[in-house]
Amino acid sequence: MKLLIENWRRFLKEEDQKEYDYEGEVAKEKEELEQKHFGASANIGQMLYDIYQEEMVTLEAQGMAPDDIFDEHNNIFDVIQTKFNKLNSSNTISSNSLENSGRGAFRAVFSCDKDFVIKIDASIDGSGKDMNREDQQLGTNKKYGDIFPRVFKFDPDYKWIVAEKVKPIEYPEGINNFFPNRFLRSNMINTYSYLVVVVLAITYKVAQMKGDKTTQDDCEYGFERKKNAIAFNSLVTLDKINQEFNKNPNFFKIVSAVFEHGIEIEDSIRPGNMGIGSDDRLVILDSSIADTLNKGRAAF
């Protein structure tokens, strides 16, 4: 009986020392969920970056120029695919397949999940990392984050990011449909002329906010050249067009983002760089911040 009582006291003492760690359990559960949904993508992102950079260094050492290395993307993907399949078969990573989603001047894009893409730095000077950082900051910004792809996970040095998969818009009407305007002819909404006016209106509004009269005059001159074909009558002005666009949430958010972050308008608002998000919203695929683009172009 004495031994039984001692064991019981010892058990109670041990239980007192093992208090339930609620915050620790929540953190553990969150980590497990993140690993389940994004863990494979994170591991693959690092692998993609390492292989891509290694291949570019090798090509550069062989005397290949930057623009020629750019053209080697598909060949580099073949190398990546081989290593990916080997790692996947050995259970080092966990994913069904790896898709080549192409590359821009500074980043390469891959997909191993129907909902997400992995963007890696494929630049010579690190401009791709700058763009990944900018995408992460804009894609999580509550003020206008919904016009950029959502970013779910990222490397601390921005070598890669895991972002929402967006369906690119291939033709101008896909963009124009998000910017109806009662002062513009609806039968022109499927044309580049309509898109040019949308871009002029955004540029004009940003110039107004900056007090840039020269750019405002340039925009008004550009609109006058298009007006006979695109506007209902000769009395329509670019200022009237803008008053109508100002009621459009997409227009307002894009103008705000351009004004605050120096986004290059013509590089952003175009087919190929705009798309449809998973919830059918309009999205700018690459943030195209002018300072980063110019830095990368200079290195190129």
Boundary-marking domain end, from 136, 165, 194 = 165
Residues 72, 132: one domain?
A: yes
Domain membership flag for residue 101: yes
CA dihedral (78, 83, 86, 89) positive or negative:
negative
How do the residues of the chain divide into helix, strand and coil, expressed in percent and rounded to 5?
Answer: 60, 15, 30
Residues 144, 254: one domain?
A: no
Judge contact between 121 and 158, C-beta under 8 A. Answer: yes
Averages of pLDDT over each 10 residues, the chain, 300 residues: 58 52 59 55 81 90 85 89 75 67 86 84 86 88 82 91 91 96 94 96 94 96 93 92 94 90 87 90 80 54
Q: How far is CA 101 from CA 54, 108, 165, 184, in A?
A: 20, 8, 10, 36
Residues 211, 94: one domain?
A: no
Instruction: Quote the domain boundaries for residue 259.
Output: 172-271
pLDDT for the residue numbered 205: 94
Q: How far is CA 69 from CA 122, 128, 163, 208, 266, in A?
A: 10, 15, 25, 41, 26
Q: Locate tokens 């911040």: which residue?
A: 289
Residues 108, 78: one domain?
A: yes
| CB neighbour burial string for 39-55, b if at least 16 within 10 angstroms, e if fewer | bbbbbbbebbbebbbeb
Which CATH number is 80's domain given?
3.30.200.20
Boundary-marking domain end, from 117, 132, 165 = 165
Domain membership flag for residue 277: no
Tell me how far apart the alpha carbons of residues 243 and 205 are, in angstroms, rounded to a whole number: 10
Domain membership flag for residue 207: yes
Q: Locate tokens 């002018």: which residue?
A: 290
Residues composing the chain? 300
The model's pLDDT over 110-168, given as tens digits with 9 standing for 90+, comes to 987 778 889 999 887 888 898 899 889 888 887 776 889 888 889 999 999 988 889 99
Tell me how far apart the alpha carbons of residues 124 and 10 are, in angstroms, rounded to a whole number: 64
pLDDT for the residue numbered 294: 55
Domain membership flag for residue 2: no
Q: How far apart are the first and last CA of the chain?
A: 84
pLDDT for the residue numbered 93: 56
pLDDT for the residue numbered 231: 92
Domain membership flag for residue 289: no
Residues 45, 77: one domain?
A: yes
Boundary-marking domain end, from 116, 148, 165 = 165
pTM above the 0.95 mark?
no
Residues 130, 179: one domain?
A: no
Domain membership flag for residue 287: no
Residues 64, 198: one domain?
A: no
Residues 255, 237: one domain?
A: yes
Residues 139, 122: one domain?
A: yes
Residues 50, 125: one domain?
A: yes
Q: Which helix (H) or strand (E) holds 274?
A: strand 274-276
Domain membership flag for residue 288: no
Domain membership flag for residue 17: no
Judge contact between 86 and 75, C-beta under 8 A. Answer: no
Residues 138, 238: one domain?
A: no
Phi, psi (rounded to 5 degrees) for 146? -75, -5
Residues 161, 179: one domain?
A: no
How many separate domains does the chain show?
A: 2
Judge contact between 163 and 274, C-beta under 8 A. Answer: no
